Amino acid sequence: MSRILWLDGLEEHNANTLERFIYIHGTKHEDKIGTPASHGCIRMRNADVIELFTLVEEGTSVFIRE
């Protein structure tokens, strides 16, 4: 795993994302990107999450949608 962006939900039903270990992170299984393989995390290719990590600051709002 290359980088982790920790999420802290703002909506009541997502307020415990940090405690549920739901993150945006890289993966060593890049061949499985696009298929469900975790329990809520957003898995990204390592190069992509490394770039994203450099672009966002702590406290940046993130909107996740299907």
pLDDT at 51: 95
Tokens describing residue 7: 């999420």
pTM value > 0.85: no
Tokens describing residue 51: 């770039």
Phi–psi pair at 52, nearest 5 degrees: -60, -40
pLDDT at 1: 65
CA 50/CA 65 separation, integer angstroms: 21
Burial, 9: exposed, middle or buried (Cβ in 10 Å; 0-12, 13-18, 19+)? middle
| Domain boundaries of the chain, sorted by first residue | 4-55
The pLDDT tens digits for 6-47 are 888 888 888 888 888 888 999 999 998 988 887 788 899 999
